[in-house]
Structure 1
Amino acid sequence: MLDFRPVLFVIGLLLATIAVAMGIPAVVDVLAGHSDWQVFAISSAFTLFIGVSLVLAGRAAEMRLTIRQTFLLTTLSWVAIAVFAALPLAFSDLNLSYTDAFFEAMSGLTTTGSTVITGLDDAPPGILLWRALLQWLGGIGIIVMAVAVLPVLQVGGMQLFQTESSDTSEKVLPRIAQIISGISLIYIGLTSVCALLLWIWGMNGFEAVAHAMTTIATGGFSTSDGSIGHFNSAAIDWTITVFMVLSGVPFVLYLQTVRGNLMALPRDG
């Protein structure tokens, strides 16, 4: 019989992480004087409660993930996160149905880029940031978080890469901790450089950060209905194009290059 406790434990940790992430757009809305911060605060508290409850319910003396449990975890984690990530969208001033909110959240997490929201130019800043943050986390952050958790359950971490389509299962570094830190640094580094360039080319700070996150995630969400065409800037267009190409390269190849394998990228190409 399949033991669901390790699966519930990890999903609980991921939901708790999403709950904490909801605090970021809540703070942005507070600073902007928008009442939607309450929606994020309540959604965060509810999601955190469910997440902690799953962690407590999933605890066991010995937790070990099998291949079947790992596949189940990979599927259920995306659905569970989208269910709760949709809450701020559903109860915000956007007046979305929960179905539309779930679609938007899942589109963000899977970096699909499809949207059902119009009037983005007048949307609350917290909502705009939440959409960008969902894509950024979905791009690779969720994988990094899961790889950090799975070794605790004696699954070794790398099995997740075998069930994800966004990377290779080749063990490019000897320790999981090095893989996590390497991917995180590359992801954050690319995001930071992209945001800086977009700000230099004319976006304000908020727009630059939001577009940098969705660019590195290769998702394409924007803060405007006109997307990047709203800015009417060739420099911005080219910056986003270049960084999307860079982000489309498997990050393990960057890690191999940094470790001295200078032919990793040319050979893969």
Structure 2
Amino acid sequence: MDSARTSTAAHSTKVVGLVIGALLVALAAVMLVPVLAEIVARSDDWEAFLSSAVVTGFVGGALMLANQTDERDLTHRATFLVTTFGWLSVAAFSALPFAFSRLDMNYTDAFFEAMSGVTTTGGTVMIGLDRAPPGILLWRSLLQWIGGIGIIVTAVAILPFLRVGGMQLFRTESTDKTEKVLPRPGQIAVAIGEVYLLLTLLCALAYIVGGMTPFDAMNHAMTTVATAGFSTHDASFGYFENSFIHWTGTIFMISGAVPLALYVQTLRGSNEKIWNDPQVRGFISLLAGVSVLLALWLAARGDYGFFEALTHTAFNVTSIVTTAGFTSDDYQLWGPFAVMVFFILMFVGGCTGSTAGGMKIFRLQILAILFKTQVRQTLYPHVAQTMRYGERTVSREIVFSVALFVFVYLASMLVVAMALAAFGLDFTTALSSAVTSIANVGPGLGPIVGPAGNFATLPDGPKLIMAFAMLLGRLELLTVLVMFSKDYWER
């Protein structure tokens, strides 16, 4: 029995090493794209990307050669390992171009920037983006674009299997329904990738029509559809004083925060309509309601006319809820009411199976259904109550999983906030940094990490804590935390 377990463990380790090695080899190939950008722009930072690609490719190739195996099936426990260490390894090696470039970033800052990129968080430590090398700007956008499609694959293919935070509710959404149109999982992944690429190209084209340069348009398109938040300018979308560009960003942030599998079903002739999904209806209704409310608030204050206010509120509300993290204005200047609204919106997130982070709309809907059911059960104690989400019955297991996730989500934020406060960060900075990291939002609140600031002035300790929090939130908490349990490693 012990020898069989040892053999299984060795096999799992080889598969994990093989997968991570393949990821690093692919990452090394992507690093060559900024090399071309640097050469075309006649910049001298191409050596940083080439040397990073050589190091990354060598390590990845060595891992693949050292872990060759005929059996390549992942065990349940190994899936947690490959998911967590896969994302961690990609972030660690993605930091090399930042560290090797003429920006002279230390590795902690480089790792923070890379982790923020691949987790599509959007918080940055870089200052002077308007003067940064084109290869670095392109690399930041590529990281977020890759991270966006990566989290969709993780959410659709891995998290339901791991039964994390109620995600098993969407196993039918991501497999059964889609497989009626596309029979094999590989085809589903390719179809989702095609939709993702198409949305990015359409977004870039719209930005060019709105007046962006092709370079700005392509960079912002990648980070908009990925609901990620990196910009090529320190002022983010405030740099573009153009309502057409702001509304384009709003529309494509929403498109990235909707489950991409729904696009595939619609394009392949399925009878399922995107608006029929309860997540999408709740998501759009929330954005519309809060945007109009804040626009009326700003118009009443006399800050803007109603339609100008609606442009700003729609963009910034959508950016926070979808966890994109772009800003078109410093909403902290809109008054305490607006600041409180934005703080609450940091917790929400987009739809599952999308590029958005956060708690996810469906979990809040499940909690609302639970509350409504409990009220009815209290009024009619002898009548059996059934919880339904759309056309699906919600089991007690899913309700328990969602409730547990929300508890761990909020508890993790408090723990991270206390850890940041231990380094001397003030209350607002520590709490909003914890929330924005785990929710993968990007900007926090306050004069330091708010929409008009960034994370550059924070000490290395808080940056590393926040980088871990970004990974924690992006992988739905329990995927990472389970590996800190004794039971995971016991056998």
| Same structural fold, with TM-score higher than 0.5 when normalized by the shorter chain | yes
Q: Is the aligned partner of 1:119 residue 2:128?
A: yes
Q: Is the aligned partner of 1:34 residue 2:43?
A: yes
Report the equivalent of 2:86. Answer: 77
Report the equivalent of 1:219. Answer: 228
Equivalent residue runs for 1:1-269 within 5 Å = 1=6, 2=9, 3-141=12-150, 158-159=157-158, 162-163=161-162, 168-169=170-171, 170-171=174-175, 172-173=178-179, 174-268=183-277, 269=281
Aligned 8 A contact 1:74 1:160 in 2: no
More divergent stretch after superposition (177-186 vs 135-144): 135-144
Letter in 1 for 2:157: M
Report the equivalent of 1:154. Answer: none
1:5-33 C-alpha deviation (Å, 9 max, x unpaired): 00010111111111000000111001111
RMSD: 2.1
Query: CA 1:57/1:160 → structure 2, altered by over 3 Å: closer, same or farther?
Result: farther
Letter in 1 for 2:127: T
1:100-156 C-alpha deviation (Å, 9 max, x unpaired): 100100001000110010100000000000000000000014765x89xxxxxxxxx
Q: TM-score, with normalisation over the residues of structure 1?
A: 0.90
More divergent stretch after superposition (194-203 vs 55-64): 55-64
More divergent stretch after superposition (174-183 vs 190-199): 174-183
Q: Give the Cα–Cα distance (whole angstroms) in 2 for the partners of residues 86 and 210 of structure 1.
A: 19
Q: Give the Cα–Cα distance (whole angstroms) in 2 for the partners of residues 242 and 216 of structure 1.
A: 10
Q: Give the Cα–Cα distance (whole angstroms) in 2 for the partners of residues 247 and 127 of structure 1.
A: 24
Aligned residue for 2:72, secondary structure, equals coil
Aligned residue for 1:68, secondary structure, equals helix
Q: Give the Cα–Cα distance (whole angstroms) in 2 for the partners of residues 118 and 161 of structure 1.
A: 39
Q: Give the Cα–Cα distance (whole angstroms) in 2 for the partners of residues 140 and 34 of structure 1.
A: 29
Deviation at 1:162, TM superposition (A): 3.5
Q: Give the Cα–Cα distance (whole angstroms) in 1 for the partners of residues 117 and 271 of structure 2.
A: 34
Q: Give the Cα–Cα distance (whole angstroms) in 2 for the partners of residues 6 and 161 of structure 1.
A: 21
Aligned 8 A contact 1:37 1:126 in 2: yes
Query: CA 1:234/1:162 → structure 2, altered by over 3 Å: closer, same or farther?
Result: farther
Query: CA 1:175/1:109 → structure 2, altered by over 3 Å: closer, same or farther?
Result: same
More divergent stretch after superposition (174-183 vs 41-50): 174-183
Q: Which runs of structure 1 show a deviation greater than 6 angstroms over 4 or more consecutive aligned residues?
A: 164-167
Aligned 8 A contact 1:70 1:160 in 2: no
Q: Give the Cα–Cα distance (whole angstroms) in 2 for the partners of residues 160 and 15 of structure 1.
A: 22
Query: CA 1:263/1:62 → structure 2, altered by over 3 Å: closer, same or farther?
Result: closer
Query: CA 1:23/1:177 → structure 2, altered by over 3 Å: closer, same or farther?
Result: same
Letter in 2 for 1:114: G
Aligned residue for 1:113, secondary structure, equals coil
1:149-195 C-alpha deviation (Å, 9 max, x unpaired): xxxxxxxx934654588994331222022112211110000000000
Report the equivalent of 2:290. Answer: none
Letter in 1 for 2:260: F
Aligned 8 A contact 1:8 1:55 in 2: yes
Letter in 2 for 1:123: A
More divergent stretch after superposition (252-261 vs 35-44): 252-261
Query: CA 1:117/1:27 → structure 2, altered by over 3 Å: closer, same or farther?
Result: same
Q: Give the Cα–Cα distance (whole angstroms) in 2 for the partners of residues 38 and 23 of structure 1.
A: 10
Q: Give the Cα–Cα distance (whole angstroms) in 1 for the partners of residues 23 and 120 of structure 2.
A: 18
Aligned 8 A contact 1:109 1:134 in 2: yes
% of aligned pairs identical?
48
Q: Which runs of 5+ in 1 are unaligned?
A: 148-156
Aligned residue for 1:158, secondary structure, equals helix
Q: Give the Cα–Cα distance (whole angstroms) in 2 for the partners of residues 143 and 58 of structure 1.
A: 27
